Amino acid sequence: MPLSSLKTISLQRFSLNFAANIIAALWMLVGSTRAFSWVKPTFMQFAAFALLALGSNVLFSWLAAEQGSVFNEQGLVSYLIWPAIISLGGIILARRSGNQMLLFVPVVLWLVADTLSALLQSLVQFLGSQGWLPDWSYSFLPILFLVLFLWQTLALLWIFARRQRTPWWERIIVLVGAVALLTIWQRNVADQPIFKQIPVQPVLQEAALYKQPQLLQQALAGIDPSTPGKSDWYFMGVAGFSDLDVFRSEINKVRELFDVRFGTSGYSLALINNTYSWLDEPVATKTSILQGLKRIGQQMNADEDVLFMTLSSHGDQDFIHLSNPPLEMDNLDATWLREALDASGIRWRVIVVSACYSGSFIDELTSPTTVVITASAADKMSFGCTNTAEMTYFGQAFFAESLRESNSFSAAFKEASLRVSERESFMGFEPSEPQMIVGSLMKTALPAFEQVLFDKARSPIANVTDGTGNTDDGAIDILYEDATNTSLPMTTTTTN
């Protein structure tokens, strides 16, 4: 039946026409010309679905936008181009066929389908922001969203071609051309969403420029010499990536745990890359890390004392990121870190690397007197790095939970690995497979070192007071309870 003979009869109630148009769009999306029997192309229906389509697309863009994004007029214009083109197509069809009923048919069907598609994408985006989607889904979601955009337009072209009984080869040419045009257009406007984050060039304040050397020197000066005749534990933490607060939070919480519960106050150092800590904490660069290791090496007894070093950042094969704009920093690679540790004279080491692909550090850092613990295998990602989280998955499981219940690093590592595995399995993530390697000499020495460390955790620590100079025995447990009760909201950006 030609388009010129198409007749549509509107129903008496707006709601019935509204429902009929949804059914028509669903028939269109499966390629059926039954859509023409259901569509109710009135001006009121056009206006209603135009507003709904615009609103649903604004909602999706808002859900997908990064924190701090603002309304982008160019993104709105880019979206409105296609409803305008479809409307123009309806005008041309109506005039050529002499059937004014066709005026709103294409655009109503397209707007209904676009509304449904945008609402589906909004739902998926919301689920992702809550961390309720499996990790493997993130790799194909952009393709899915592109397919949904293509599908609604191609389905519209298909049913009109079928209704006009155009030859199959003409249909193929039209559809292939439409796919090419729509794909190119979609990719070209991908950086123009309706809500867009405006890039802000990081600026280093003059006060921070002069404050940083002071902060580093104060931190180094605060590292005390060890007590002769006993084993002391020293702590060094490095938060490498400035744009995510979780790395700073994790290192500061672990330092707090060691200072308060394990007695490393006066023997600890934290180097932090974070956008908001320039005036408060020394930044983590290869230079400051090297100076920190040398200072600790000078203050400790190489035969009796142990360094506990933990690094938290984004990671890649054989290096973790050191980033703190506007400074340009070299990344921290495993070979350099091993050389820096050797040059410091620190003999006994327990090193924890919390980052994606952190298992790639094992070969370089392994030595007879070293324990190396990593959040993942060399070819695996680790998870939990978001601005809303206080610790990563592995950091939460190992430091905040398992160390509380164990009196050895091996037992804590096994328990943490199990907890991380269960959490990743529940979330549908690929297992990160944390690793732990104990050097040959450390296997013999570690139990004695651990006894010193965990004995301090079982007894009151003199440097926690109630404000009158008396030891506050409950402060340690309160602090530790706070660390273990940390919740980890998730977004679509969950890997380290």
**pLDDT higher than threshold 80 for residue 218:** yes
The 3-state DSSP class for residue 72 equals coil
Which of 46-50, 125-129, 308-312, 478-482 has the weakest average pLDDT?
478-482
Q: Are 384 and 488 in contact (CB under 8 A)?
A: yes
212 contacts 278 by C-beta, under 8 angstroms: yes
Provide the 3-class DSSP secondary structure of residue 317.
Answer: coil
Report the pLDDT value the prediction gives residue 200, as an integer from 0 to 100. Answer: 66
| Confidence grade of residue 1 (pLDDT, cut at 50, 70, 90) | low
Predicted model pTM: 0.66
Residue 221, Cα to own-chain centre: how many angstroms? 36
Cα distance between residue 168 and residue 392, in whole Å: 55
Cis peptide before 83 (omega within 30 of 0): no
pLDDT of residue 438: 97
Residue 220 tokens read as 């180094």
Q: Nearest CA to 45 among 89, 110, 119, 98?
A: 110
57-110 pLDDT, tens digit each = 999 999 988 777 889 888 889 889 989 999 999 999 888 888 888 899 999 999
487 residue type, one letter: S
Domain ranges of the chain: 3-196, 212-484
Residues 118-122: what's their mean pLDDT? 94
Per residue in 173-195, pLDDT (tens digit) is 988 988 888 888 877 777 888 88
> Could you give the CA distance from residue 52 to residue 123 in angstroms, rounded to a whole number?
15
Which pair of tokens denotes residue 476? 């340690």
Q: How many CA atoms lie within 13 A of 414 on its CB side?
A: 6
Q: Is the pLDDT of residue 481 over 50?
A: no
327-341 mean pLDDT: 95
Q: Which CATH architecture has domain 212-484?
A: 3-Layer(aba) Sandwich (3.40)
